[in-house]
Amino acid sequence: MQKTINRRKFVANAALSAVGLMLGSKLDGATAEKDAKMSSYDIMKDVMKYRKIDTHMHAKEANFAPMIDIGERLGIQKMVMVNHAYPPFPGMDAYRAINNIAIAAVKQHPERFIGFFTLNPNYPKESMEEMKRCLDNGLIGYKGYTEVKVSDPLYYPIIEKCIEHKLLVHIHSECDGYFRRKYDISVAPNASLPEDYVIAAKRYPQAVFEYAHIGTGNDFEWACKVLKECPNIYVNAGASDNEETLIDTVLKHFDENKIFFASDGSYYQAVGKILASSATDAQRKKIFWDNYVNLMKKGGHNVG
């Protein structure tokens, strides 16, 4: 146990130094020399040891060079682009423009990017038309935000089409469980909570759901306990908040074969928290690569 704590503390203390190495720049108080003095542990060797698919990243414009660069530096071979609209939610023309970014990514860099499309369920007819266009242009999954809850009947046609085409249903999630109830943390009124996922997953056991960024500002232990009752719900470990205990807690309460590596734009933190966890080498390989590749293969999508 002591070895795990020391390793975790080292990774946390060395984070800024590692960023300097990865980004090719020196940060105040964080240099490669200082990092070398701290320990003989070669963090970048460990970083590059594992193949990785980032199952949750965004691009607001069709400029993909920075993401490809950070992927090269962190050994992220594939990136799943899951762009979406933000409230107040626009009409479908804006969704088409958002989807065009993912389409451009997979067409320009098919070896690097996997593209998902987004829709506004409040426009049922237009959403079905847009889904067809996106599938025809090489996108292979669905990303939803907080337009409506995933358990809302407005989602039924989208989920049913995703089942038909064997597409992963990737939905944004927010605060939940004990944390929400005790502290009255406000969330978007239509944000999908773990309970909403379970309702949808039980209604559609043939569908496959990805609970987005289980580590972002929520009670992730509660979420795991709620979600694990449904075999067709997976989680990604992406987070713009990066709790130190996230990976160990999720592994304690959730199936290790249903956890995906993800950054949500916090690239080096996403890698670091897995390396700093108590996960075994076999578990890291599953989270970084194998789990997602194996799931997508079941749907006929060879992404690895």
Q: What is the pLDDT of residues 72-122, one digit of tens each?
A: 999 999 999 999 999 999 999 999 999 999 999 999 999 999 999 999 999
pLDDT at 142 over 80: yes
Structure confidence at residue 200 (pLDDT): 98
Query: For 230, what's the count of Cα atoms within 13 Å in the CB-facing half-sphere?
Result: 26
Query: What does the pLDDT average to over 264-285?
Result: 94
Q: Are strands 113-115 and 76-81 parallel, antiparallel or unpaired?
A: parallel
Query: What does the pLDDT average to over 5-32?
Result: 48
Q: Percentage of the chain with pLDDT > 70?
A: 81
Structure confidence at residue 222 (pLDDT): 85
What average pLDDT does the structure give for the chain?
Answer: 87
Domain definitions of the chain by residue range = 1-47, 51-298
pLDDT at 179 over 60: no
- Measured CA to CA, the distance from residue 206 to residue 90 in angstroms comes to 31
pLDDT at 23 over 80: no
Q: What is the pTM of this model?
A: 0.86
pLDDT at 19 over 50: no
Query: What does the pLDDT average to over 158-182?
Result: 82
pLDDT at 277 over 80: yes
Q: Which residue has the tokens 């989208």?
A: 158
Structure confidence at residue 214 (pLDDT): 87
Burial class (CB in 10 A: 0-12, 13-18, 19+), 118: buried
- Measured CA to CA, the distance from residue 115 to residue 134 in angstroms comes to 9
| pLDDT classification of 243: cutoffs 50, 70, 90 | confident
CATH architecture of structural domain 51-298: Alpha-Beta Barrel (3.20)
